[in-house]
Amino acid sequence: MTSPTLNITLVNQTNSSTVYSYITGQALDNKNAVFLLQSDGRTPYFPTSPSSTGAPLAVNCAIALGAPGSTTSAVIPHIAGGRIWFSIGTPLTFLLNPGPPGSSSGALVEPSPNNPSDPNINIMWGFCEFTYNNAQLFANISYVDFVSIPIALTLNNSARATQHVAGTAANGLDTVCSGLQAQSAADHTNAWASLIVPNPSGGNLRALSPNNAPNPSLFDGYYKSYVDAVYSRYSSTPLTVDTQASFGTVSGTVTNNVLDFGTGGQFAKPSAHDIFSCSTGPFADTSGERAAFVPRIAAAFNRSTLLLSSKTPDANPAQYYQISPTNHYSRIVHAANLDGRGYAFPYDDVTPTGGQDQSGAVQDGAPTLLTVTVGGQNATPALRVQNWNTFFTVGNAKIDLFCRFRLESPQSFHDQLVGSVWFRSASSLTALLRVNRTFVLYLSPLFRRGFWALRWQRDKNYIFHNRWRSIYTVSQKLLWIPISECPLFGSKATE
Give 222: exposed, middle or buried? Use CB within 10 Å, 0-12, 13-18, 19+.
buried
Sign, CA dihedral 156-157-160-165, equals negative
Q: At what angle do helices 172-187 and 328-336 cross, to 10 degrees?
A: 150
CATH of the domain at 172: 2.60.110.10
Q: Is the pLDDT of residue 443 over 70?
A: no
Q: How confident is the model at residue 356 (pLDDT cuts 50, 70, 90)?
A: confident
**φ and ψ at 262, to 5 degrees?**
65, -125
Q: Is the pLDDT of residue 194 over 90?
A: yes
Q: Residue 198's CB: how many other CB atoms inside 10 A? A: 11
**Which amino acid type is present at position 81?**
G
**Least reliable range by pLDDT among 156-170, 174-188, 199-213, 232-246:** 156-170
Q: Is residue 181 part of a domain?
A: yes
Percent of the chain with pLDDT over 90: 72
8 Å CB contact between 352 and 242 = yes
Q: How confident is the model at residue 380 (pLDDT cuts 50, 70, 90)?
A: low
In 99-195, which ranges are E strands?
107-109, 124-132, 137-141, 146-147, 151-157, 162-165
Whether residue 449 is found in the same domain as residue 433: yes
Q: Is the pLDDT of residue 440 over 80?
A: no
DSSP for 386-437, please give it: EEEEEEEEETTEEEEEEEEEEE-S-HHHHHH-EEEEEESSTT---EEEEETT
Say which DSSP state 256 is in: T
Q: Is the pLDDT of residue 416 over 70?
A: no
Percent of the chain with pLDDT over 70: 77
Whether residue 121 is found in the same domain as residue 23: yes
Q: Is the pLDDT of residue 239 over 90?
A: yes
CA 3 to CA 134: how far, in whole Å? 8
Using one digit for the tens of pLDDT, what is the confidence trace for 457-493? 332 222 223 332 233 222 223 333 333 333 333 333 2
Q: Is residue 275 part of a domain?
A: yes
Whether residue 306 is found in the same domain as residue 334: no
**Which amino acid type is present at position 453?**
A
DSSP for 291-337, please give it: HHHHHHHHHHHHHT-TTT-SEES---GGGTT-SSS--HHHHHHHHHB
**Which amino acid type is present at position 339?**
D
**Least reliable range by pLDDT among 26-35, 261-270, 435-444:** 435-444
CA 296 to CA 274: how far, in whole Å? 14
Q: Is residue 182 part of a domain?
A: yes
CA distances from 7 to 3, 44, 182 (A): 10, 14, 42
Using one digit for the tens of pLDDT, what is the confidence trace for 293-332? 999 999 999 999 999 999 999 988 989 999 999 999 999 9
Whether residue 405 is found in the same domain as residue 364: no
Q: Is residue 4 part of a domain?
A: yes
What is the spatial order of strands in the sheet that 204-208 belongs to? 146-147, 204-208, 196-198
CA 27 to CA 400: how far, in whole Å? 53
CA 358 to CA 342: how far, in whole Å? 6
CATH of the domain at 303: 3.30.920.50
Residue that is last in its domain, among 283, 300, 323? 323
Residue that is last in its domain, among 253, 288, 323? 323
Per-residue pLDDT, 316 = 86
Average pLDDT, the chain: 81
Per-residue pLDDT, 418 = 28
Say which DSSP state 365 is in: S
Sign, CA dihedral 286-361-353-313, equals positive
Whether residue 391 is found in the same domain as residue 268: no
Per-residue pLDDT, 381 = 55
Per-residue pLDDT, 463 = 29
Whether residue 98 is found in the same domain as residue 233: no
Whether residue 79 is found in the same domain as residue 204: yes
Residue that is last in its domain, among 307, 323, 339? 323
Q: Is residue 350 part of a domain?
A: yes
Whether residue 370 is found in the same domain as residue 404: no
Contacts 24+ apart (CB under 8 A), 177-182: 177/204, 177/207, 179/328, 179/332, 179/335, 179/336, 180/207, 180/328, 180/329, 180/332
Please tell me the number of Cα atoms within 13 Å of 374 on its side-chain side: 33
* Nearest one of 319, 323, 313 to 355, comparing CA atoms: 313
Whether residue 341 is found in the same domain as residue 411: no
Residues facing residue 21 across a β-bridge = 63, 86
**Which amino acid type is present at position 45?**
Y
Whether residue 231 is found in the same domain as residue 288: yes
Q: Is residue 184 part of a domain?
A: yes
Number of domains in the chain: 3
Q: Is residue 369 part of a domain?
A: yes
The residue range of the domain holding 232 is 224-323
**Least reliable range by pLDDT among 96-110, 361-375, 465-479:** 465-479
Q: Is the pLDDT of residue 87 over 50?
A: yes
Q: Is residue 219 part of a domain?
A: no
Whether residue 95 is found in the same domain as residue 172: yes
Q: Is the pLDDT of residue 29 over 70?
A: yes
Sign, CA dihedral 93-98-99-100, equals negative
DSSP for 11-80, please give it: EE-SS-S-EEEEEEEEEGGGTTEEEEE-TTSS-EE-PBPPSSTTEEPSS---EE--STT-EEEEEEESEE
Q: Is the pLDDT of residue 256 over 50?
A: yes
Which run of H or E residues covers position 276?
Answer: helix 272-277
Per-residue pLDDT, 459 = 29
Whether residue 64 is found in the same domain as residue 197: yes
